[in-house]
Amino acid sequence: MNPQISFSAVLFDMDGVLITSEHIWAQCEIDFFKSLVGNKLEGHDEQTFLGKSPLGIFKTLQKNFELPLPQQEFLERYLLFGLTHVYSKIELSPNVLTLLQDLSQKNIPCALVSSSPYVWIYKALEKTGIAPYFKIIVSADDVEGKGKPEPDIYLLASKRIGIPPFQCLVIEDSDNGLLAGKRAGMQTIGVRNGVNENQKLINADRIWTGILPKI
């Protein structure tokens, strides 16, 4: 760990950091969106939506691609799609369990901070069994869907875990997530997971590639 990075709590993004969901989303998400807006999505891929909350994705589709569905119908269909096609198939990212065990042994509190709704988070935690390692869990549901890159979700996590923002370390795989962490006044690590090459990760204080190392 870079000696300039000093922290008292670690705030983990979920998708693409803790679990191998991003490659599954990459395989099927754009097809789902195309079924709703047609060929207006030509030239765009999953990177357009990476790190955004379902509400944020709805607003992007509505504003830029003329999504014909009302908000509630879109969210219901999208949440069901995620449960059925993504979170029933996820696995832990390489070395995540070792990293969480290491932090636990050092008595460093951890939080799961995700733009995903609770229904997806609980499905992922049920499948992977890592819930006991997190002192708190925060979803974009807790900030009325105001997800990353806004800092609200990370500021709420800091408040709930009882650690000031400047003593929190954010681990993210998306530009939106890293920007949210920086806007919250936190230290950041960007993760290269094999499917986020188009993310610049410019707001990362340090970048990890592949297997998450011990801290």
CA 148 to chain CA centroid, nearest Å? 9
- Gyration radius from the chain CA atoms: 16
Hunting for tokens 């609770």 — which residue is that?
118
The total number of residues shown for the chain amounts to 215
pLDDT tens string, the chain, 215 residues long: the values are 444 678 999 999 999 999 999 889 888 988 899 899 888 887 776 667 877 888 889 999 999 998 999 999 999 999 999 999 999 999 999 999 999 999 999 999 999 999 899 999 999 999 999 999 999 999 989 998 677 899 999 999 999 999 999 999 999 999 999 999 999 999 999 999 988 998 999 999 999 997 777 77
Give the 3-state secondary structure of the chain: CCCCCCCCEEEECCECCCECCHHHHHHHHHHHHHHHHHHHHCCCCHHHCCCCCHHHHHHHHHHHHCCCCCHHHHHHHHHHHHHHHCCCCCCECCCHHHHHHHHHHCCCCEEEEECCCHHHHHHHHHHHCCHHHCCEEEEHHHHCCCCCCCCHHHHHHHHHHCCCHHHEEEEECCHHHHHHHHHCCCEEEEEECCCCCCCCCCCCCEEEECCCCCC
**pLDDT given at position 108:** 97
**pLDDT given at position 175:** 94
Q: Of the CATH numbers 3.40.50.1000, 3.40.50.150, 3.20.20.70, 3.40.50.10490, which one belongs to the domain with range 9-20+91-209?
A: 3.40.50.1000
Do 45 and 55 form a contact (C-beta atoms < 8 A)?
A: no
**pLDDT given at position 99:** 96
CB atoms under 10 Å from CB of 60, counted, come to 16
Give residue limits of the domains in the chain.
9-20+91-209, 23-85
**pLDDT given at position 6:** 87
**pLDDT given at position 45:** 67
Report the amino acid identity of residue 185: G
